[in-house]
């Protein structure tokens, strides 16, 4: 579990307005999703003596509630009727997202002496968990819960109107927006970077940070054979030729130069692991680590970063984009600029834009991915391409929060450790579990439910991959097994396969028969589904079953751009002054993404947009 110490002083009972943030739309949880269970646990150093009027004793009191990944533990210090300190002592929230929201929530609660802190935009579930933990701690302390549950009214009526003049305004502080800002700053431009959330990162913070490096110096030094032509061939084949070829050409021909800049001490100076045996390198600290470094360098280079400040509209004069309007917590901004770079991310969290066929799967993307640029660019008649494509992936669980979580680190280890395999609701194998993602997706779509079946060795390897990637903790596994399939994630164990089958409601004898057939295929050396088999499922228990889901997150359609990263209108003409980078751009991937290319595109397109803007404004 992560430890977090909030750097807060004793409350002075300020009544300043809390930051507000609207919760983004998310897909409803699957049918098996239940409300998050909150396990009551208090640890008071002093037991309060309560009366009919509710009085509190001085002391330290603890509350715990379910957050996004696991429990959030809050410790409050009470002096009579006043909370003098709030510490979040344990959590498993996502780095740069829920983790970044917790100190904001703690400060709001302390300054305003209230449980009813405003939701931090992009961290709704973390905010809900914090409030629930605070309520439990307050009850334990004997404080008046009703009094501390009053919402704080803002004393501010009119926001200050501020006009800023800059060279470049970048909208969105995810991976693409940060690289665009930094490359423009290093090119000599003044940059204002806007982010609607209270923290940077967006989808990039949730990514593994595998980054395509085709054509880079590192790849050549590490002896990996690759070329722009080969990368293009792989993208088109993987995307079933639904890709927008000119956008593919931008990526394959500039990704090497962008990666060289990304890791160069004189460039972005982001730490990556090497060597590699493929065309991708992994960022140190995953996506959250890359984002943190980029943000630091943007600020060091003189970029003006405005968090909790969404852009609301484009400023357009004579058909040319000349800046944006934005609204922060305390001010309304008119930002005049020579160029605007849109890096607002995708639209996976917006059910009005996501095709209905995908909404039956579990959403696993960023809460802030609401397609803001799609609405903003209507003012310039921007062209959109590939809006019908959303990236779906297999190998997912549903977290207690109801949102999807990828399990690639887990399944990879499980299949290497022993003969783990997947079955459907009939207890039958249905696909090559280690085949291509696209084929596995099509096979999973044909079933009502799918389960990963593991023996002790593969279960240990699965969890080692997930905990090693800081996706969840060993304590989470213990709790989920105790739930025995009653709530998500469905993770069950038993001494025999039939014990597991009974909990998963699989037909009697079907799972045992599937295991026997699988092991016989290993002995025979031939699998009906084409999987290369070498390891059997153990003949001895215990055994485990984990429900697996299809998840969707990244959207693959968006703004149509030209070779200079300029947004095109529906007449296929570039909109002067308007550029785009990252997931907001459509067409790179086709109908499914190629490994390493999503994060690689964020880094590459951001770099390209920044350098293109510098050339244009000079």
Indicate if the pLDDT at residue 16 is higher than 70.
no
User: Could you read off the pLDDT of 412-431 as tens digits, one per residue?
Assistant: 999 999 999 999 999 999 99
Q: Mean per-residue pLDDT for 169-181? A: 98
Q: Which domains does the chain have, with CATH numbers?
A: 1-157 (no CATH), 160-389+556-617 (3.50.50.60), 395-552 (3.90.700.10)
User: Could you read off the pLDDT of 194-253 as tens digits, one per residue?
Assistant: 999 989 999 999 898 999 999 999 999 999 999 999 999 999 999 999 999 999 999 999
Other C-beta atoms lying within 10 Å of the C-beta of residue 113: 19
pLDDT of residue 58: 84
Burial 564-592 (b: 16+ CB within 10 A, else e): ebbbbbeeeebbbbbbbbbbbbbbbbbbb
Q: How confident is the model at residue 46 (pLDDT cuts 50, 70, 90)?
A: very low
Q: How confident is the model at residue 157 (pLDDT cuts 50, 70, 90)?
A: low
Q: How far is CA 258 from CA 205, 392, 471, in A?
A: 19, 27, 29
Phi, psi of 566 (to 5 degrees): -80, 140
DSSP code for 282: E
Q: Specify the 3-state DSSP secondary structure of 283.
A: strand
The pair of structure tokens assigned to 180 is 């665009």
Q: How confident is the model at residue 96 (pLDDT cuts 50, 70, 90)?
A: confident
Q: How confident is the model at residue 55 (pLDDT cuts 50, 70, 90)?
A: low
Indicate if the pLDDT at residue 604 is higher than 50.
yes
Indicate if the pLDDT at residue 387 is higher than 80.
yes
Alpha-carbon gap, residue 213 to 99, rounded angstroms: 30
Indicate if the pLDDT at residue 146 is higher than 90.
no
Nearest to 69 by CA among 100, 92, 98: 92
Burial class of residue 212 (count of CB atoms within 10 Å of its CB; 0-12, 13-18, 19+): buried
Q: How confident is the model at residue 154 (pLDDT cuts 50, 70, 90)?
A: low
Residue 551, H or E segment? strand 543-555
Indicate if the pLDDT at residue 369 is higher than 70.
yes
Q: Which residue has the higher pLDDT, 506 or 127?
A: 506
Indicate if the pLDDT at residue 45 is higher than 80.
no
E-assigned strands of 294-330? 304-306, 311-317, 320-327
Indicate if the pLDDT at residue 29 is higher than 70.
no
User: Could you read off the pLDDT of 529-564 as tens digits, one per residue?
Assistant: 999 999 999 999 999 999 999 999 999 999 999 999
Q: Which residue has the higher pLDDT, 376 or 47?
A: 376
pLDDT of residue 27: 31
Q: Mean per-residue pLDDT for 267-280? A: 97
State yes or no: cis peptide before 275, omega within 30 of 0: yes
User: Could you read off the pLDDT of 467-521 as tens digits, one per residue?
Assistant: 998 788 899 999 999 999 999 999 999 999 999 999 999 999 999 999 999 999 9
* Pairing mode, strands 311-317 and 210-212: unpaired
Instruction: Please count the CA atoms within 13 angstroms of the CA of 332 that sit on its side-chain side.
Output: 8
Under a CB-based contact definition with an 8 Å cutoff, are residues 113 and 24 in contact?
no
pLDDT of residue 398: 95
């Amino acid at each position: 579990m992560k430890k977090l110490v909030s750097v807060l002083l004793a409350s002075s009972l300020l009544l300043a307005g809390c930051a507000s943030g609207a919760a983004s739309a998310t897909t409803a949880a699957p049918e098996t999703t239940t409300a998050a269970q909150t396990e009551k646990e208090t640890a008071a150093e002093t037991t309060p003596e309560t009366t009919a009027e509710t009085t509190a004793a001085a002391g330290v009191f603890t509350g715990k509630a379910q957050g996004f990944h696991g429990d959030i533990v809050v410790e409050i210090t009470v002096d009579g009727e006043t909370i003098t300190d709030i510490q979040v002592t344990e959590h498993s929230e996502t780095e740069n997202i829920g983790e970044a929201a917790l100190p904001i929530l703690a400060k709001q609660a302390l300054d305003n002496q209230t449980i009813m802190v405003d939701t931090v935009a992009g961290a709704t579930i973390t905010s809900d968990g914090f409030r629930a933990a605070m309520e439990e701690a307050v009850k334990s302390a004997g404080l008046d819960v009703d009094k501390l549950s009053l919402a704080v009214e803002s004393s501010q009526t009119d926001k200050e109107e501020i006009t800023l003049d800059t060279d470049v305004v970048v909208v969105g502080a995810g991976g693409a927006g940060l690289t665009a800002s930094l490359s423009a700053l290093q090119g000599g431009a003044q940059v204002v970077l806007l982010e609607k959330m209270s923290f940077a990162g967006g989808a990039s913070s949730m990514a593994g940070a595998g980054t395509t490096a085709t054509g880079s110096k590192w790849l050549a030094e590490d002896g990996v054979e690759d070329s722009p032509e080969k990368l293009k061939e792989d993208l088109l084949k993987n995307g079933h030729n639904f890709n927008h070829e000119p956008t593919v050409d931008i990526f394959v021909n500039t990704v090497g130069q962008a990666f060289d800049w990304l890791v160069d001490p004189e460039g972005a100076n982001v730490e990556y692991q090497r060597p590699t045996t493929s065309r991708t390198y992994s960022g140190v600290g995953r996506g959250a680590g890359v984002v943190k470094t980029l943000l630091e360098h943007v600020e060091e280079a003189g970029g003006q970063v405005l968090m909790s400040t969404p852009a609301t509209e484009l400023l357009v004069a004579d058909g040319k984009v000349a800046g944006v309007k934005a609204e922060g917590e305390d001010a309304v901004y008119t930002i005049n600029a020579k160029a605007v770079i849109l890096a607002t991310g995708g639209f996976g969290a917006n059910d009005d834009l996501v095709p209905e066929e995908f909404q039956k799967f579990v959403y696993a993307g960023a809460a802030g991915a609401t397609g803001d640029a799609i609405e903003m660019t209507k003012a310039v008649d921007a062209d959109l391409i590939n809006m019908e494509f959303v990236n779906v992936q297999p190998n997912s669980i549903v977290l207690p929060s109801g949102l999807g979580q990828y399990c690639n680190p887990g399944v990879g280890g499980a299949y290497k450790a022993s003969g783990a395999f997947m079955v459907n609701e009939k207890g039958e194998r249905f696909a090559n579990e280690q085949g291509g993602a696209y084929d596995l997706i099509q096979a999973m779509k044909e079933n009502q439910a799918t389960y990963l079946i593991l023996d002790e060795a593969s279960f240990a390897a699965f969890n080692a991959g997930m905990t090693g990637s800081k996706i969840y903790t060993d304590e989470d596994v213990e709790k989920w097994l105790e739930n025995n399939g009653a709530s998500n994630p469905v993770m069950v164990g038993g001494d025999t396969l039939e014990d597991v089958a009974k909990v998963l409601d699989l037909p009697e004898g079907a799972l045992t028969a599937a295991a026997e057939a699988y092991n016989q295929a290993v002995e025979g050396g031939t699998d009906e589904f084409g999987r290369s088999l070498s390891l059997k499922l153990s003949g001895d228990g215990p055994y485990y079953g984990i429900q697996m889901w299809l998840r969707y997150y990244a959207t693959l359609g968006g703004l149509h751009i030209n070779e200079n990263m300029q947004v095109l209108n529906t007449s296929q003409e570039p909109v002067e002054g308007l550029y785009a980078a990252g997931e907001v751009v459509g067409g790179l991937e086709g109908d499914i993404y190629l490994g390493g290319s999503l994060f690689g595109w964020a880094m590459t397109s951001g770099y390209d947009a920044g350098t293109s803007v510098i050339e244009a404004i000079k």
